């Protein structure tokens, strides 16, 4: 608790052991005879001040250094100062500002109490002055170096040597006065305080003054150098102005000089430029003044100076937006998943707390065309009050497009990101980089790495454009990449992007978006009013089902624009009519339907089952067909199937084979019959395990010769043990079944959580059957499925038929043998 000095301390004899309240300090050393003010705020120190304010009351003031190791507590220095509280004043927050007067040195002996404040037994230090021949010499040397310090350091008063000279009669107080006055490190001041012998104290004071003299001398030299440079620059500027004015009076001012002078005034008055940029610009202007306006170098230099002034080096908008308002603005501009909106709001909140900087990985929006990637980025920019810029990575063919061209080349100019900042007029716009998947087509990684250098917060705080040649801070800009799917993200960028997947829209969502966003915008672009043409829900459904096949809204938008162009043509031809777009009138505008939706069969059939598939254009029905025929037990598959889907079919076949007894199927049938499984739309490649339950039902149907219900659709992956696992694209698959009029859907139990993303009307009108294993699928999907009675009857019938065949063969052999003997 007490840090010993390790030196001999002369103590005054005392009858008892005095006890003082101890006030630890970390920022000052109090010397005897000096008066200081200190700010006290800790509760224990406030209690000490309250109990020890008054006449003839002393406290101990001791230095408490910071612990060198944060895991250990610091110790009080042994030597301190007995002090008297002169005055107290109230400070902010219940604190006190007190004035202390140092009385004499004390030495801590032991700590008596720690609560409510520190109390220690002390001894008074014997401060008897014992001078030697060396004392006077040390004092004179100290006085000389004080004079040298005050000559070069303006922070010390020129009267300080005279003040110190009056204290030379008492060398001890002389050393204490110097230590309290000069800007020594606090550890050096404590070293002087705890040096009780006079000559060593003066020697340390002299050593610390010499170090202070070296410090102020270096500061003086730096100050003088800066002063001389400033005087030279002002002299040069004054002479140039004089020369320019003389030339102007004589009429000899050249065009180059006028342009250079004008540019110099613009650069000096441009507050957006940083000091380094301004310095570089002035150097280029000096070069420009010596060039002819007819030279190519003059034009290139002037073009470079224009760029330096137009780049928004320090222009940023304030992060003063309200998060609740941001959430409302994004909700009004973008219709999509609440999970995605929450993720975006969290990123904006982090940016606001960091004062406009987000050190997280850049966002990457992955989704099919028309799923709202650009709309979401635009909504973010509008909600935050930022400029919104769109650039296409597909147009970047060379690294110079990203990092700029060196100024030595003809036609050199900055890269795309510097040009974007110039167009935005700020250094913190929202920049949407579209078609990032085009960078993955490059054989080398130069382009993606150059892109990463610009958008990654680890590097872009000092982004260096080859044309500009000066580092620029891109960390305040908000970079958002967009790709069509997560598989197309370049490998170099994949691990540095935070991917946000935007799912496709189902039919109900497309209708809602069309009514709220698309139709008003399309009518405005075509000069139509709301009552000129009305899109009814039946008409929108017909457009979606018969004229588009997509996850997004681009195709639907184009079809509605065709209808509006037709109406605009009629209206411009002065045809006074109101048009209503219904399911019956759509064909008159758009012609014959392009797509015929897949619909379920009208009756239940053997080997025909309705599966649900998810494609890049959304959910769809997939009617899987099965057929058995005489053969050797082979499973034939057609329909452009991938390896995963083929393995899923084999697993389903093996499981149904293992359940032959339950299904009433003779085991020999699996060896005597081939099974052909066909998936529709053979030109379209298919893969994935989600058709496992559907294939299981088809195989069970064709082998047991039982029909499958035609009013039920299903999806789910099947394991070899018959468990049904979760699959993706549930929202799109259920929407496809609902659109086709199927109201009973089997889905894995693990996908129950995905139903929360569905519209309320679909959930209300659809019956969901949650399945854990294939047995439940077989029981609910096959008609007339009675495993207990039907299976035994089937088994016995098979055995009886087998016995009859065996008996018939035996009789035939006997008859043949008898006829042979007769012959």
- CB proximity list for 627: less than 8 A, separation 6 or greater: 607, 675, 676, 678, 702
Give ∠ CA 205-211-215 in degrees, rounded to 5: 140
How far is it between the farthest Cα atoms of the chain? 161
Helix H or strand E encompassing 243? helix 198-250
Strands (E), 328-371: 363-366
CA gap 311, 467 in Å, rounded? 12
Strands (E), 401-497: 430-434, 463-464, 471-472, 478-483
Q: H helices within 635-773, ranges in order? A: 643-658, 660-663, 669-672, 692-704, 730-739, 760-765
Backbone φ and ψ for 762, nearest 5 degrees, come out as -70, -45
CA gap 740, 66 in Å, rounded? 76
> Can 342 be counted among the known catalytic residues?
no
* DSSP designation for 695: H
Tokens matching residue 480: 């958002």
Beta bridge mates, 611: 622, 714
What is the secondary structure of 598-636 as a DSSP string?
----SS-BTTEEEEEEEETTEEEEEEEEEEEEESSS-EE
Determine which one of 546, 690, 701, 735 is catalytic. Answer: 690
Chain-centre distance for alpha carbon 382: 19
What is the secondary structure of 88-147 as a DSSP string?
EEE-GGG-EEEEEEEEEEEEEEEEEE-SSS-EEEEEEB-------HHHHHHHHHHHHHHH
Residue 276 burial (C-beta neighbours within 10 Å; 0-12, 13-18, 19+): exposed
> Can 733 be counted among the known catalytic residues?
yes
Residue 441 burial (C-beta neighbours within 10 Å; 0-12, 13-18, 19+): exposed
Backbone φ and ψ for 56, nearest 5 degrees, come out as 60, 25
Q: Which of 699, 652, 697 is nearest to 677 (CA)?
A: 699
Contact between 747 and 730 (Cβ < 8 Å) = yes
607-610 contacts, C-beta under 8 A, 24 or more apart:
607/698, 607/701, 607/702, 607/708, 608/698, 608/701, 608/708, 608/710, 609/694, 609/697, 609/698, 609/701, 609/708, 609/714, 609/781, 610/694, 610/710, 610/712, 610/713, 610/714, 610/737, 610/742
Residue 688 burial (C-beta neighbours within 10 Å; 0-12, 13-18, 19+): middle
Q: Is the peptide bond before 116 cis (omega within 30 degrees of 0)?
A: yes
SS3 content of the chain, % helix, strand, coil (to 5): 50, 20, 35
- CB proximity list for 429: less than 8 A, separation 6 or greater: 381, 386, 387, 388, 389, 420, 421, 477, 478
What is the secondary structure of 704-733 as a DSSP string?
HT--B-SSEEE--EE-TTSBEE--S-HHHH
CA gap 342, 235 in Å, rounded? 61
Rounded to whole angstroms, what are the CA distances from 723 to 275, 562, 719? 69, 49, 5
What are the residue numbers of the active site? 690, 733
């Amino acid at each position: 608790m007490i840090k010993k000095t390790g030196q001999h301390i002369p103590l005054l004899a005392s009858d008892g052991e005095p006890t003082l309240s101890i006030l630890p300090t970390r920022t000052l050393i109090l010397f005897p005879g000096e008066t200081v003010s200190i700010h006290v705020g800790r509760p224990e120190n406030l209690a000490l001040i309250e109990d020890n304010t008054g006449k003839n009351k002393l406290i101990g003031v001791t230095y408490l250094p910071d612990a060198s190791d944060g895991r250990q507590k610091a110790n009080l220095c042994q030597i301190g100062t007995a002090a008297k509280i002169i005055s107290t004043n109230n400070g902010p927050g219940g604190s006190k500002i007190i004035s202390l007067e140092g009385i004499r040195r004390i030495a801590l002996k032991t700590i008596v109490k720690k609560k409510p404040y520190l109390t220690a037994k002390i001894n008074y230090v014997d401060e008897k002055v014992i001078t030697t021949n060396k004392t006077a010499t040390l004092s004179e040397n100290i006085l000389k170096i004080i004079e040298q310090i005050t000559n070069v350091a303006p922070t010390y008063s020129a009267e300080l040597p005279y003040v110190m000279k009056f204290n030379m009669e008492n060398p001890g107080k002389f050393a204490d006065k110097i230590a309290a006055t000069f800007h020594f490190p606090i550890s050096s001041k404590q070293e002087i305080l705890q040096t009780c012998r006079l000559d060593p104290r003066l020697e340390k004071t002299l050593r610390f003054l010499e170090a202070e003299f070296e410090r102020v001398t270096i500061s003086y030299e730096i100050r003088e150098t800066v002063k001389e440079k400033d005087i030279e620059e002002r002299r040069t500027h004054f002479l140039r102005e004089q020369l320019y004015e003389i030339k102007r009076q004589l009429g000899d001012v050249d065009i180059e000089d006028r342009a250079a002078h004008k540019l110099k005034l613009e650069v000096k008055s441009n507050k957006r430029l940083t000091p380094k940029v301004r310095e570089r610009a002035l150097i280029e202007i000096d070069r420009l003044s010596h060039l002819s306006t007819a030279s190519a170098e003059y034009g290139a230099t002037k073009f470079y100076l224009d760029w330096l002034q137009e780049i928004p080096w320090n222009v940023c908008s304030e992060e003063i937006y309200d998060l609740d308002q941001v959430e409302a603005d994004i909700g009004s501009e973008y219709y999509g998943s609440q999970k995605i909106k929450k993720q975006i709001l969290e990123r904006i909140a982090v940016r606001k707390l960091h004062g406009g900087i987000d050190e997280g990985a850049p966002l990457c929006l992955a989704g099919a065309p028309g799923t709202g990637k650009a709309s979401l980025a635009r909504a973010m920019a509008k909600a935050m009050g930022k400029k919104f810029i769109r650039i296409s990575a597909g147009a970047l063919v060379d690294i110079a497009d990203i990092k700029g061209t060196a100024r030595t080349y003809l036609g050199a100019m900055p890269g795309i990101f510097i040009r974007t900042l110039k167009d935005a007029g700020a250094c913190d716009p929202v920049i949407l980089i579209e078609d990032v998947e085009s960078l993955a087509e490059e054989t080398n990684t130069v382009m993606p790495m150059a892109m990463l250098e610009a958008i990654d917060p680890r590097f872009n705080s000092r982004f260096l454009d080859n044309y500009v040649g000066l580092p620029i801070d891109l960390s305040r800009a908000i970079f958002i990449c967009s790709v069509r799917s997560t598989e197309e993200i370049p490998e170099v960028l994949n691990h540095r992007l935070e991917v946000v997947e935007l799912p496709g829209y189902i039919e109900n969502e497309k209708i809602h978006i069309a009514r709220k966003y698309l139709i008003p915008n399309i009518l405005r672009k075509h000069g139509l009013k709301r009552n000129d043409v009305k899109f009814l829900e039946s008409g929108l459904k017909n457009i979606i089902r018969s004229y588009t096949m997509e996850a997004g809204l681009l195709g639907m938008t184009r079809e509605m624009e065709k209808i509006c162009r037709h109406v605009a043509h009629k209206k411009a031809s002065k045809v006074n009519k109101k048009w209503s777009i219904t399911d019956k009138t759509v064909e008159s505008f758009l012609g014959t339907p392009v797509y015929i939706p897949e619909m379920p069969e009208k009756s239940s059939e053997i080997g025909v089952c309705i599966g649900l598939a998810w494609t890049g254009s959304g959910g769809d029905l997939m009617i899987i067909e099965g057929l058995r025929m005489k053969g050797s037990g082979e499973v034939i598959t057609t329909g452009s199937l991938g390896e995963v889907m083929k393995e899923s079919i084999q697993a389903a076949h093996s499981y149904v084979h293992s359940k032959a007894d339950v299904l009433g199927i003779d085991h020999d049938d699996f060896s005597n019959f081939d099974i052909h499984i066909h998936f529709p739309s053979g030109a379209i490649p298919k893969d994935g395990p989600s058709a496992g339950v559907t294939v299981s039902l088809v195989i069970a149907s064709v082998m047991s010769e039982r029909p499958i219900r035609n009013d039920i659709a299903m999806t789910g992956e099947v394991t070899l043990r018959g468990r049904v696992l979760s699959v993706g694209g549930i929202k799109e698959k259920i929407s496809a079944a609902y659109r086709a009029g199927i109201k009973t859907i089997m889905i894995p139990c693990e996908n129950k959580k995905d139903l929360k993303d569905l519209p309320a009307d679909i959930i209300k009108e659809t019956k969901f059957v949650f399945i854990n294993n294939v047995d439940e699928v077989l029981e609910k999907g096959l008609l007339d499925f009675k495993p207990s009675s039907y299976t035994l009857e089937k088994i016995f019938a098979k055995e009886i038929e087998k016995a009859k065949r065996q008996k018939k063969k035996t009789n035939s052999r006997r008859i043949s043998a008898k006829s042979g003997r007769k012959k």
